[in-house]
Structure 1
């Protein structure tokens, strides 16, 4: 008899095709391979500020939720690192000098709405962002260090100094996904929302590419 795949395995399999376009988006490829500029990187980090502000505000709101709370860990928190990155990259007045792109605005609105109305949907976005960070972030950070001559300043978004074993951390997170009290219909909804999160990531890369074209025109 064929073994039934766990929910976390099904989620990874179903989202793998959607993941590839965001990983291979031209803007990010240029950024890490040499065609992108420091200004492009700053534009990217600035958009992450708005996204993680919404995610971490939602996490605070749902900290006592019986389903969401098991996925939350202060070790994942990104906002202090992003603040430090932007202060280093832009200056002390960084907050007055950044604004969300259209896709970022839509993405943030969705995260906030889900945090208020649907815990499972919020978990879908939490999973997509933070496990993605743990999976690819350290490698991206090292590439950017070499590309722009950074040490640790400027790439704090990609550093998880409080997580000694990212592989073990991700394994526990996936075990918590498998243990979530969701029926089959809810699991399908969560998977669909993960696909939405990947779509936002791809569309944000397209927004960043358009903004870049406007800067160099």
Structure 2
């Protein structure tokens, strides 16, 4: 099946083709408990720690992709999250946070896939970059408000810096989608990218599913 429908840009086709995969992660017991305000600081901090390993690799890959004329355009400086995550981890774990966090098994598998595809395949880099950063600019903004409220953290302060960007999310999203629509990928490459985004969503869902099990978070009644 074609990644695009007639008259439809790739950004819309990509979102449509992966919508159900995206929902699988949002519906995990962990994410449901998070947005409902049922998690404490320690339980939330574990997610921040897992995300750090993912973004650390993705932003290393972005440095590698600086030589690619298409992929490098997606690496907006304002979107990079490494420093924000470091600030949040210092808030939750203290100045020695590096020695207090480690990836769980699902995060290790996720990072293994990033190493496989994001450093040499531009389309693979964009697929994983899209999955994370467009999510941060969309549903991540709602999550930030819920975390601020439930953990009593002031908006944009340490603890939730990960979700806050210098500019308005809509501007970044519009620019990003325009890049997707204008990228010179043929139908076969677009289909590969769709498949990789689906895989990225599954890998994300596995991370939060493992957190659900480790923290013994049950679905809401």
**TM-score between the two structures when normalised by the length of structure 2:** 0.92
Which of residues 56, 81, 93 in structure 2 aligns to 1:78? Answer: 81
CA contact (8 A) 1:71 1:176 kept: yes
Which deviations, in whole Å up to 9, do the C-alpha atoms of 1:113-163 show, x marking residues without a partner? 212331101100001100110011222111111101111120011111x22
Higher-helix-fraction structure: 1
Which residue number corresponds to residue 67 of structure 1?
70
CA contact (8 A) 1:137 1:159 kept: no
CA contact (8 A) 1:52 1:79 kept: yes
Which residue number corresponds to residue 127 of structure 1?
130
Compute the displacement of 1:67 (Å).
Answer: 1.4
Which of residues 105, 112, 120 in structure 2 aligns to 1:102? Answer: 105
Inter-partner Cα distance in structure 1 for 2:148 and 2:193: 35
Compute the displacement of 1:210 (Å).
Answer: 1.7
CA contact (8 A) 2:37 2:147 kept: no
For the pair 1:150 / 2:150, whether they are aligned, the reply is no
Name stretches of at least 5 consecutive residues in structure 1 with no aligned partner. Answer: none
Inter-partner Cα distance in structure 2 for 1:110 and 1:21: 19
Which residue number corresponds to residue 190 of structure 1?
193
Inter-partner Cα distance in structure 2 for 1:51 and 1:10: 26
- Any idea what SS the aligned residue of 1:92 has? coil
Compute the displacement of 1:45 (Å).
Answer: 0.4
Inter-partner Cα distance in structure 2 for 1:85 and 1:116: 27
Name stretches of at least 5 consecutive residues in structure 2 with no aligned partner. Answer: none
Which of residues 49, 52, 56 in structure 1 aligns to 2:59? Answer: 56
For the pair 1:117 / 2:120, whether they are aligned, the reply is yes
- Any idea what SS the aligned residue of 1:63 has? helix
Inter-partner Cα distance in structure 2 for 1:114 and 1:189: 12
- Any idea what SS the aligned residue of 2:118 has? helix
Inter-partner Cα distance in structure 1 for 2:144 and 2:68: 33
**TM-score between the two structures when normalised by the length of structure 1:** 0.93
Inter-partner Cα distance in structure 2 for 1:138 and 1:9: 21
Compute the displacement of 1:3 (Å).
Answer: 4.6
CA contact (8 A) 1:63 1:69 kept: yes
Which residue number corresponds to residue 47 of structure 2?
44
Which residue number corresponds to residue 207 of structure 1?
210
Which deviations, in whole Å up to 9, do the C-alpha atoms of 1:56-113 show, x marking residues without a partner? 0000111121110111111001010100101011101111011001111111111122
CA contact (8 A) 1:82 1:156 kept: yes
Which deviations, in whole Å up to 9, do the C-alpha atoms of 1:22-49 show, x marking residues without a partner? 1121101112213222211011000011
